[in-house]
Amino acid sequence: MRIFAGFRLHSDQNRYVFGLRGGNNNDLFLARYGDNNKHAFLGTTPLGFIPQKGVWYTIRIDVEGSNIQVYLNNEPSARLTANDPEAPFLSGKIALGGGWSKTEFDSVKVSPLTEYTVHKDALHYNFQSLKDATVTGWTPVDESRYTKEKGIGWTDDGLFSRKRNVDADPLADSLVGFSDRGSKVLRVDLPDGDYIVSVNMGDPSHRSQNRIFFMDEQQSSIDTASENGNNNLLRKSITTYNGQLRMRFELDKPGHGVSINWLTIEPRKLAGDTAWRKYDSAETKNDTPDKVALRKTQRAAYQARQIEAPQDGRTTYSLNGDWLFLPDYEVGQSIPWDVQTDDSSWHVIDVPTFWTPMMSWNYSEGEGASKGRASKNYWEKEKKRCAAYTFDAPRTKTGYYRHTLILPDILKDKTVQINFDAIGRESQVWVNGTSVAEYTGMFAPVRADITKWVKPGANIVVVRAGDSLKNQEYNTRDIGRAPLHMFFLENRGIWQNVTLEISDSVTIDDTFFKPQLNRFDLDVTLKNRSGSPAEYKLATQIRDHKNNRLVYDASTTRTNVVTEAGQTKTITLRSDDQTHAPFKNWSPEFPNLYRAEIFAFNYNQDPSVDLKSFSDQAVVFQTFKNELFTTDLVNGDYVVTLEFGDATQPSLAEAYIGRDVNALEQAIV
């Protein structure tokens, strides 16, 4: 048995849907339908009983701005409470039906809520030009900056005040606003405590975007667009700390502006506990005084990354862990990527992770009311994680990461590369003050050859991540370059692994595996960064990822590659269907995976030494378990070939022994 109804209906694709669901659900259900990806699941809550046919149920839905409350059978408390700050519509018709069960409705009524009355002793602010007449009982606020003397004002420039002379209500006719994309912050000095804040937004003559973040909110409390003459009223319970209320107004919709009409701030003791709880969304606090001490402790514990001497071939070092971090609002006049910049007051952040909550589509599409849903727990966990940072995470749109690497003395003839598996969403990388990489996107690796910019000893890596610093150059179509809909929120930060690679001057820079029906092609790109020609041999092995079983072995069938100084060359290794075991198909149920290993053998050979075949004068040894073999050799050049492993899975290792080697045991294999 299911009963469905709707409200704020504009069309079948644009409406709120409420459901009382029996069967396998037995819950109350609330969602928003919207075209152009404007849909959102807002929550469920268990009924505690099984709905029965032929039984009447009384349902009341209270809506005020973005707040929605659902009551059942005249119960004193709401069964389901939701806040939908990104609602694209705040009005509309009601709708009856929508499910497949035959349903009868009776006594349907739509009426206004009892108007909330702000206490006369609350703080009342009207946003207007100071040249215009003031409204009795209201303190005028214009576009001027915050000062301690006034106790209220803006932290940014670029605002204006207007009086439209078209609305009979003087509070709705005047406004302070801005029309450039970005955000503006209003600060109000208040004693620490609980308050109900009411904000009225709208422009009687122009379209307005109403998007507000209170204090340290991860999501906006309201995010709507209104046409000319329409106003939006938002009420919210907040708790202040550090003696101040902060409100951030944002604009990102073309053709709109931000318009603030009036603001009231009502202490909880005047509003009453019932009203305060009604508008309380239980936002997690951040930026408390304890964070100052915590930042100092974490900063003192931060350590530079000591890079040990590399092995032959390629050595990879993880750079995951603690990095220093500077949020954009603390940059001021400093240059974060300058090696001389003082970082003693920077914060510490863990890498890799976002500094914003990570919310996939299957973790609900809004904070909503998710009683009985595990996703609510995940959302709360993510908010708690971000609130634990010592900086204002929701306020931070761009951040600078900084890490000191202590490199070893052995860097001659070596290649040093830094790899970021993914950074969200606009990024730039500096090494010792030099920009080495830039990227727009969220999922592709960001890599840079930093050989020429590093040195033995201390080296400083700085990464800018987050929103673009050039947003004004983009329009809404451009934003598709940086994916928005893989994750629900706008995530920012270094969110995948970071590594440093030190390798020989000739490296395998890229591979491309191309499977065919009965064989495969493997493109291998070799880059010679040295100042002289180099000759290498390429080979490959393929192993079952699950059990490491050797499936294909071409380590004895080598492809010769000669590269000139500075040259990049791509070679294709081709298999034969007779030389490998059958590959198993991949499927979601049985994800058979394989690991391809590509080897580059460097002989540094003397032209007089032939490595293509064994000489008749070669010395051959065959050893058995626990047996040691030795031999005396005349000083000179030798090729040492060792075959090891079992008879069914041979592998080959080779090493060239230079001059003045007195014994075989001095060879490095």
**pLDDT tens, residue by residue, 71-95:** 899 887 788 888 787 788 888 899 9
Whether residues 261 and 391 share a domain: the answer is no
Own/partner pairs, 614-620, CB within 8 angstroms, 24+ separation? 614/641
Assign 265 to helix, strand or coil.
strand
- Domain of 301: which CATH number? 2.60.120.260
Identify whether the C-beta of residue 323 lies closer than 8 Å to the C-beta of residue 348: yes
Q: Of 143-147, 224-228, 352-356, 486-490, where does mean pLDDT reach its minimum?
A: 486-490
pLDDT at 654 over 60: no
For residue 137, is it within any domain?
Answer: yes
What is the distance between the alpha carbons of residues 127 and 176, in angstroms, rounded to a whole number?
5
Identify whether the C-beta of residue 255 lies closer than 8 Å to the C-beta of residue 203: no
Whether residues 36 and 75 share a domain: the answer is yes
Strand partners, 652: 643
pLDDT at 648 over 60: no
Average pLDDT over residues 264-283: 81
Own/partner pairs, 106-112, CB within 8 angstroms, 24+ separation? 106/56
Average pLDDT over residues 297-309: 96
Higher pLDDT, 661 or 591: 591
For residue 101, is it within any domain?
Answer: no
Q: Count the domains in the chain.
A: 5
φ/ψ (deg, to 5) at 361: -60, -30
Secondary structure element (H or E) that encloses residue 458, with its range? strand 457-466
Whether residues 26 and 140 share a domain: the answer is no
- Domain of 263: which CATH number? 2.60.120.430
Whether residues 198 and 85 share a domain: the answer is no
Neighbours of 523 (CB within 10 A): 13
- Our CA angle for 250, 253, 258, nearest 5°, is 45
Handedness of CA 166, 170, 172, 177 (dihedral sign): positive
- Domain of 66: which CATH number? 2.60.120.560
pLDDT confidence band for 395 (50 / 70 / 90): confident
pLDDT at 218 over 80: no
- Domain of 521: which CATH number? 2.60.40.10
What is the distance between the alpha carbons of residues 278 and 274, in angstroms, rounded to a whole number?
6
Q: Phi/psi zone of residue 36: left (φ > 0), alpha (ψ -120 to 50 degrees), beta?
A: left
Average pLDDT over residues 601-614: 50
What is the distance between the alpha carbons of residues 464 and 325, in angstroms, rounded to a whole number?
10
What is the distance between the alpha carbons of residues 557 and 612, in angstroms, rounded to a whole number?
11
Whether residues 259 and 305 share a domain: the answer is no
What is the distance between the alpha carbons of residues 594 and 544, in angstroms, rounded to a whole number?
5
Neighbours of 609 (CB within 10 A): 13
**Mean pLDDT comparison of 4-18, 62-76, 87-101, 578-592, highest-scoring range:** 4-18
Whether residues 259 and 131 share a domain: the answer is yes
Whether residues 592 and 610 share a domain: the answer is no
Model pLDDT, residue 666: 37
Model pLDDT, residue 487: 61
**pLDDT tens, residue by residue, 192-205:** 888 999 999 999 89
Model pLDDT, residue 248: 92
Model pLDDT, residue 376: 53
Q: Which residue has the tokens 């849909």?
A: 39
Strand partners, 414: 504
What is the distance between the alpha carbons of residues 380 and 212, in angstroms, rounded to a whole number?
21
The number of C-alpha atoms within 13 Å of 360 and in the hemisphere containing its C-beta is 2
**pLDDT tens, residue by residue, 618-635:** 666 665 555 666 777 777
The contacts of residue 526 (CB under 8 Å, 6+ apart) are 506, 507, 508, 509, 536, 538, 561, 563, 568, 569, 570, 571, 600
Whether residues 330 and 450 share a domain: the answer is yes
pLDDT confidence band for 305 (50 / 70 / 90): very high
Higher pLDDT, 106 or 476: 106
Whether residues 583 and 622 share a domain: the answer is no
For residue 387, is it within any domain?
Answer: yes
The residue type at 632: D
**Mean pLDDT comparison of 391-395, 444-448, 546-550, highest-scoring range:** 444-448
pLDDT at 115 over 70: no
Neighbours of 40 (CB within 10 A): 22
- Write out the two tokens for 138: 């209201």
φ/ψ (deg, to 5) at 577: -65, -15
Whether residues 69 and 135 share a domain: the answer is no
pLDDT at 434 over 90: yes
User: Last residue of a domain, which of 278, 304, 326?
Assistant: 278
Share of the chain above pLDDT 90, in %: 39
Higher pLDDT, 167 or 652: 167
Average pLDDT over residues 180-195: 91
Alpha-carbon distance values, 257 to 55, 124, 203, 326, 607 (Å)? 50, 23, 9, 30, 75
φ/ψ (deg, to 5) at 453: -110, 0
What is the distance between the alpha carbons of residues 464 and 53, in angstroms, rounded to a whole number?
60
Model pLDDT, residue 299: 96
What is the distance between the alpha carbons of residues 130 and 483, in angstroms, rounded to a whole number?
44
For residue 495, is it within any domain?
Answer: no
Alpha-carbon distance values, 39 to 36, 226, 371 (Å)? 8, 19, 19
Q: Tell me which residue range forms the domain holding 208.
A: 123-278
Strands 398-407, 305-306: pairing kind: parallel
Least Cα distance to 50 among 79, 22, 80, 20 occurs for 22
**Mean pLDDT comparison of 81-95, 163-177, 287-301, 599-613, highest-scoring range:** 163-177
For residue 15, is it within any domain?
Answer: yes
Whether residues 347 and 471 share a domain: the answer is yes
Identify whether the C-beta of residue 127 lies closer than 8 Å to the C-beta of residue 153: no
**pLDDT tens, residue by residue, 444-473:** 899 999 999 999 999 999 999 987 654 433
User: Last residue of a domain, which of 602, 633, 649?
Assistant: 602
Model pLDDT, residue 567: 92
Whether residues 47 and 174 share a domain: the answer is no
Q: How would you class 310 by CB atoms within 10 Å of its CB: exposed for 0-12, middle for 13-18, buried for 19 or more?
A: buried
φ/ψ (deg, to 5) at 66: -90, 0
For residue 286, is it within any domain?
Answer: no
Query: What are the b/e assignments for 11-20, b being 16+ CB within 10 Å?
Result: eeebbbbbbb
Average pLDDT over residues 474-500: 65
pLDDT at 191 over 80: yes
Higher pLDDT, 133 or 603: 133
Residue by residue, what is the 3-state secondary structure of 395-418? CCCEEEEEEEEEECCCCCCEEEEE
User: Last residue of a domain, which of 602, 630, 652?
Assistant: 602
For residue 83, is it within any domain?
Answer: yes
For residue 499, is it within any domain?
Answer: no
Q: What is the pTM of this model?
A: 0.52
Higher pLDDT, 333 or 336: 336
Identify whether the C-beta of residue 593 lies closer than 8 Å to the C-beta of residue 586: yes
Model pLDDT, residue 665: 39
Max Cα–Cα distance, the chain, nearest Å: 109
